A and B are shown apart, each in its own frame.
Chain A
Amino acid sequence: MNKIVSLLLFFTIFSTFTKNDKQYIARQGQVTFFSYTSVENIEAQNNQVLSIIDIENKEIAVSMLMRAFVFKKDLMYEHFNESYIESDLYPQANFKGEIIGFSPKTPTQDTVIKGTLTIHGVSKKVSIKTNITYSNNSYTLTGEFVALVNDFNIKIPAILTSNIAKTINLKFKFQYQPHEN
């Protein structure tokens, strides 16, 4: 059931982006998360994040597969997917939002993206500071923000609470090209 909800959410997010020449796509966006505690530092990276921006409507959609996060150690990957994120039930994380005050032809700008982030089947409104650069008909979006583990109903087993931070730092970088296909 949760898979169907994720699937519907994914298609809802991207179906509102009817293809036009105002759209730019990043198929290999990068999202990195960090969890720092005195016991253990955990870092993982996903380099196949999908994102589309519509420069006319100033909209952005992002979707990523949770199993595509790469960890340094196998055990971290297993804990993340099986115990915390439950990737079989919630295979994707999604974001849909609006780029506030976006000026498409400005070479570089700092702005805020407001929207809804869905992780582990839980949706939450977020505001994310972003830097956008425009050069040679391509856009690069970079930024970082902090997410609270509790906000997304992610349960950490008592024995591991000292290993996982309550706040997770997330960094992102998307390089967009015109959406031709």
Chain B
Amino acid sequence: MKTLKIFFSSLFLITLISLSYWMVVPFLKSSDKKLDDVNAAYNLNSSEIVSNFTKNKTNSDSLYVGKIIEITGFVKKVNFINERKTVILYTKNNKHGIICDTNIDQLEKLKSLKKNQKITVKGTCKGFLMDVILLNCYIDLNPNE
């Protein structure tokens, strides 16, 4: 009888801990994720993706928004507006670019970038206004292209 009581008490305790973990963890999970080892859904160059968005925004939204994508292009500038760490890539269309808001751990790489340097950025695509917007970006200084 005593063994049964211990068994059910333990079962109750384990269930309670598991439920608490399941309910609390999503509230604690940070939105700031590292993307170094995450596979990209698409791999394009900067002009290609801008061209896709300008030709068919609805279709490109459904293809790219919310996905992790890799974009290869040439550095236009690096800036720290509003204390963000941002790199902007050129595209063939002067009016548009790629805005990459980088993860905090990319700061040293970001500081080392030179204008016109060829890089690949991997980040979560948020869509297109006048530029393609990528957040939480990881920088690859040695693009394979």
A residues whose Cβ falls under 8 Å from a Cβ of B: 3-4, 7, 10, 14, 25, 27-28, 30, 47-48, 50, 63-65, 67-68, 70-77, 91-92, 173, 175, 181
Contact = CB atoms under 8 A, between A and B. Distances in A.
A73 B28 contact: yes
A65 B57 contact: no
B82 A74 contact: no
Contacts of A64: 129
Given A67-B65, A68-B133, A72-B31, A28 B99 contact: yes
Given A65-B126, A73-B31, 16 more contacts: A7-B57, A10-B129, A14-B130, A25-B130, A28-B99, A47-B86, A50-B129, A50-B130, A68-B135, A70-B31, A73-B27, A75-B27, A76-B31, A91-B65, A91-B127, A175-B81
Contacts of A25: 130
B126 A4 contact: no
Interface string B26-54: 11111100000000000000000000000
B94 A47 contact: no
Contact of B82 (A28, A65, A75): A28
Nearest to B128: A65
Contacts, number: 77
Contacts of A67: 65-66, 126-127
B26 A181 contact: no
A63 B129 contact: yes
A45 B110 CA distance: 22
Interface in B42-92: 57-58, 61, 65-66, 79, 81-82, 84, 86
Contacts of B66: 67
B61 to A, nearest CB: 7
B5 interface: no
A68 B29 contact: no
Contacts of B126: 48, 65, 67-68
Contacts of B29: 73-75
